[in-house]
């Protein structure tokens, strides 16, 4: 079973409980029973599924009654199932982004798969999570080849080797510890993407994103449980022009944030090694929350995407009447490939 859980002050400080009136951090939790049909079922101790808080604020449970002012940011995207190995697979809503705050937050759908402990089939798992502690020729997170395919409108396109991610790494640049080295490796980068490659959109982005919470920040800073920072290299497939940007996400919004976009707030340095298929983006720490040595970046994920127009630049510094930041030229992009998410702990190298 799964549920959203948070800390509650003990009696007599709190004598009743209303999830909708909490202003605190929430985690998705899981407990497992292998004898639930027995006369004396037992459950494992609650385990937090996410590595960091997934929501700050209330959780309104009154259905359409929440339209009177309750926080329905998490909607109904919460589920647990099992995969073919009997391992738990949990999906939940996570509002760790700067789209808005209060009762108007926008959630992303997150998912995690059990990799240790007993399965519902009675077998044991002994896997581990990927933790990146430096950038080298060996990627922290690998990705299988042959899967960079546009899947849309019921069709699956051909693999695009120039968009086929094989590895991802993010950590402090050992040559300059005031910046991150965001590295993405692809199967074939003998030349940059161009119109003759069969990519229908005019722009291709090599994008990496991650979650980082600035200690001490709250909803007032639009950073109660973290923000999604990013860096990307963008290629104009018609002209071959290359640009690179970093920043914090913006949204396509109406009453609430609906879709995150990467507007390219600040230009950054980049290096493309076509002979080895390696792209390095150099991200000043001050552009992405100033994480110190020892800081943890969560859900680090590499993506290759395409879109009809440039992703930026756009500052995304204003908010509408509902409190949403909004990119008026934001686009829903096509995803070709995406690495599995991993964690990076920033490490100083001598």
What tens digit of pLDDT does each residue of 94-135 get? Answer: 999 999 998 889 999 999 999 999 999 999 999 999 999 999
Q: Which DSSP string corresponds to 64-109?
A: GGGGGT---TTTT--EEEE-TTS-EEEEEEE--SSS--GGG---EE
Q: What's the pLDDT score for residue 22? A: 78
Report which of 157, 239, 144 is spatially closest to residue 186, judged by C-alpha positions: 144
Q: Tell me the C-alpha distance between 98 and 108, whole Å.
A: 12
Q: What's the pLDDT score for residue 62? A: 85
Q: Tell me the C-alpha distance between 171 and 343, whole Å.
A: 10
Phi, psi of 115 (to 5 degrees): -125, 0
Mean pLDDT by 10 residues, the chain (350 residues): 83 72 89 94 96 93 81 90 97 96 92 95 94 97 97 92 98 96 97 94 98 96 96 98 98 90 97 97 98 98 97 94 92 96 89
Q: Which residues contact 177 (CB under 8 A, 6 or more apart)?
A: 293, 348, 349
Q: Contact, 99 vs 330, CB < 8 A?
A: no
Q: What's the pLDDT score for residue 9? A: 65
Q: Is the pTM of this model over 0.85?
A: yes
Q: Tell me the C-alpha distance between 119 and 82, whole Å.
A: 9
The three-state secondary structure class of 252 is strand
Q: Tell me the C-alpha distance between 348 and 350, whole Å.
A: 7
The three-state secondary structure class of 157 is coil
Q: What's the pLDDT score for residue 66? A: 82
Q: What's the pLDDT score for residue 350? A: 46
Q: What's the pLDDT score for residue 117? A: 93
Sign of the CA dihedral 175, 181, 185, 190?
Answer: negative
SS (H, E, C) 224-243: CCCEEEEEEEEEECCCCCEE
Q: Tell me the C-alpha distance between 287 and 230, whole Å.
A: 10
CA distances from 140 to 31, 185, 188, 340 (A): 30, 11, 19, 11
**Where do the structural domains in the chain lie, given as residue ranges?**
2-126, 131-345
């Amino acid at each position: 079973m799964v549920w959203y859980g948070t800390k509650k002050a003990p009696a007599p400080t709190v004598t009743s409980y209303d999830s909708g009136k909490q202003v605190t951090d929430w985690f998705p939790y899981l407990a497992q029973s292998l004898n639930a049909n027995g006369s004396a079922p037992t459950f494992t101790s609650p385990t937090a599924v996410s590595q960091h808080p997934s929501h700050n604020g209330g959780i309104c449970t009154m259905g359409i009654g929440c339209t009177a002012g309750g926080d329905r940011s998490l909607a109904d995207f919460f589920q647990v199932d099992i995969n073919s190995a009997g391992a738990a697979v949990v999906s939940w809503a996570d509002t760790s982004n700067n789209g808005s705050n209060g009762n108007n937050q926008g959630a992303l759908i997150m998912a995690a798969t059990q990799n240790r402990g007993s399965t519902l089939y009675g077998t044991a798992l002994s896997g581990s999570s990927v933790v990146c502690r430096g950038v080298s020729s060996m990627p922290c997170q690998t990705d299988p080849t042959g899967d960079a395919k546009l899947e849309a409108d019921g069709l699956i396109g051909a693999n695009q080797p120039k968009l086929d991610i094989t590895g991802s790494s993010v950590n402090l640049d050992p040559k300059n510890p005031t910046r991150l080295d965001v590295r993405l490796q692809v199967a074939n980068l003998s030349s940059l993407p161009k119109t003759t490659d069969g990519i229908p959109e005019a722009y291709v982005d090599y994008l990496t994103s991650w979650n980082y919470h600035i200690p001490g920040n709250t909803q007032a800073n639009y950073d109660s449980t973290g923000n999604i920072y990013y860096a990307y290299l963008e290629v104009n497939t018609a002209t071959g022009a290359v640009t690179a940007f970093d920043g914090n996400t913006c949204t396509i919004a109406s009453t609430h944030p609906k879709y995150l976009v990467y507007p390219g707030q600040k230009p950054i340095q980049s290096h493309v090694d076509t002979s080895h298929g390696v792209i390095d983006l150099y991200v000043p720490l001050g552009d992405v929350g100033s994480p110190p040595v020892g800081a943890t970046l969560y859900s680090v994920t590499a993506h290759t995407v395409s879109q009809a127009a440039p992703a930026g630049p756009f500052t995304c510094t204003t908010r509408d009447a509902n409190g949403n930041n909004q990119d008026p030229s934001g686009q829903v992009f096509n995803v070709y490939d995406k690495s599995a998410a991993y964690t990076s702990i920033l490490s100083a190298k001598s």
